[in-house]
Amino acid sequence: MTTVLAGGTALHAINIYLVTAMLPSVVAEVGGLRFYAWNTTLFMFASVVMSALVPKCLASLGPRNSYRLALAAFALGTLACAAAPTMAVLLVGRTVQGIGGGLLVGLSYAMISTTLPAPLWTRAAGILSAMWGVGTLVGPALGGAFAQWGQWRFAFLLLVPFAIAVALLLRSTMPGVQADNETAPVAYGNLALVAAAVLAVSATSLSRQAWVNFGGLVAAALLLGLFIRRERTRPRRLLPPTAFTPGSPLRPLYATLTVLVVASTTEIFVPFYGQELGGAAPLSAGFLGAAIAAGWTVGSMASAAWTDKARLLVGIGPVVSSVGLTGMAVMSWPSASLVTVLCWAVLLFVAGSGVGITWPHMTAAAMTVGETPQEKNTAASSITTVQLVATSLGAALAGTVTNLTGVGGDATEIGHSAQWLYGAFAVIVLCGVLFSHRVIGERIRRHTKAES
């Protein structure tokens, strides 16, 4: 069962960094530079919707068939991407991939809380983080190499046998029926508000008019505000019932998660900047783009066992990430030397490690919220929902910043674009300090006591 959970997460992670590494080459062939960030936005948008439906899928289909649905959708979307003649077809394929990817990741976290005892949750979260490390190695290697050889379509095709292999393990490892198959009705209205907020930012990010971009951000803020109001007042909710109650440990946790994940979405444009500013080949630029995720993985694995230092680690995470991104803003200039590119890799690794050292502790703390298995299942899957919403919004915001600051211009303008992107996101992640001193709180102390 652990192999299936890890395999599903690894498949999702490899796909993300494979596409990130070879996307500059894909765009060079099929066109659509202005829609560059939409490859991530639409993928994450679909993942958001499906991750919110994980409890419903588990109750209706059971774990085994839920995984089958996820893997089938992922394989279908991957085949569409491999055959895409235009950017429009590629975006459709990425959306279908996102449906499968959102289910895979959401199922992995949900099954941790339903199949393992509480003292093992932090370590299980560390195992899933390790799969992101696999993704940061395998994804850029495959994507960058095939892009450099001019055969990026074959890189997509290699994911299909991987999905089939995971599917073959389901019958012997994954239960057909969930032990507790009761679940609350899906809050489709609330889900629609979150989806509309993501689309509002994504659609307006294509414009090079600042007022249009600002209007999209305002619309998204209003939609998310209405979503929070409905979550607090309606019986049907997308997140756990205690998510927005006064004194809830989930409120500062979600806020900290959001700013950290949003800041990490700068990795979308790292391979592009690596090629345009540093002259890196697709393979090298692909690994450069995975530096944030590598830092996230190493930081997560290193901190997972330090439950007695959880509050300290959560507190310093945003500061560490901000330092890395600030360094990138200072050192992003055209015709960068090899030494400069290596410094970029170190700084991006630092930015990712700030996210990683906080992640296992926040994940484990969220899983303790709730008095019944159903509530804890919802709390566990809510981590994926919040993460994917933040990734979608971050990708759209990154597209807005780059489109406004000259990502399609000459080398000097591209350098300015990189400085604006890293600088703006360094400020965003630093805002996490406002919430991190309150994050988890009593829940961390209770979880630590349980482990002891």
Considering the segment(s) 2-451 as one domain, its CATH architecture is Up-down Bundle (1.20)
DSSP of 173-220: HS-SS-SS---PPP-HHHHHHHHHHHHHHHHHTT---HHHHHHHHHHH
Of residues 213 and 419, which shows the higher confidence score? 419
Q: What is the pLDDT of residue 369?
A: 65
Name the percent of the chain lying above pLDDT 90.
18
What is the tens place of the pLDDT at every residue in 373-394?
A: 666 666 666 777 787 778 778 8
The answer to whether residues 185 and 55 touch, using CB atoms and an 8 Å cutoff, is no
What is the tens place of the pLDDT at every residue in 157-213?
A: 999 999 999 999 888 777 767 655 555 567 788 888 888 887 887 777 767 777 887
Q: What is the pLDDT of residue 74?
A: 95
Q: Which of 59-68, 278-287, 299-308, 336-345 has the lowest mean pLDDT?
A: 299-308
Tokens encoding 47: 């993942």
What are the boundaries of each domain within the chain?
2-451
Nearest to 417 by CA among 405, 428, 426, 427: 405
Average pLDDT, integer, range 54-62? 83
pTM for the full predicted model: 0.72
Q: How far is CA 440 from CA 319, 360, 366, 429, 443, in A?
A: 18, 12, 8, 18, 5
DSSP of 297-326: HHHHHHHTT-GGGHHHHHHHHHHHHHHHHH
CA gap 18, 315 in Å, rounded: 32
- Above 90 in pLDDT, residue 329? yes
